Amino acid sequence: MRALIQRVRHAKVIVEGQTIAQIGQGLVILLGIGHGDGEEQARFLTEKIAGLRIFEDEQGKTNLSIQDVKGEALVVSQFTLYADTRKGRRPSFTDAALPDVAAPLVERFASLLREQGVPTQTGQFGAHMLVEIHNDGPVTIWLER
């Protein structure tokens, strides 16, 4: 499981001209599911993300978590995080889990994040999405389990 997280001031997901998810201060989590990923990986990453101290405190130091700042999360499924570009010019995505495995695990990931006390919305699995991200910092961190 791979997560590319971005600290944001606000973000939203648009599908077919309609805003389906929108958050204020918090994290956009681009989430890739690979073969063999399951509950253990989802639980590890959600606990890590919920406690990750990447928000600024009163002194301007990155000392606070998304829980501390009462931020929100937006989880967007992104199989392209498993792109293999070692050969040729067209990426291979064979390391990404198939939709019947990945879709429920993305939902489970979002549910586990909510259990950590983080209000969480999601994009639409398998849809062509426009993801508007106002990266704050910018702060972008790669996590993998």
Q: Which residues are catalytic?
A: 78-80
Q: Which region, left, alpha or beta, applies to residue 109 given φ > 0 means left and ψ of -120 to 50 means alpha? A: alpha
Distance CA(38)–CA(45), nearest Å, equals 11
Strands 120-122 and 72-77 come out as: parallel
* Secondary structure of residue 141 in the 3-state scheme: strand
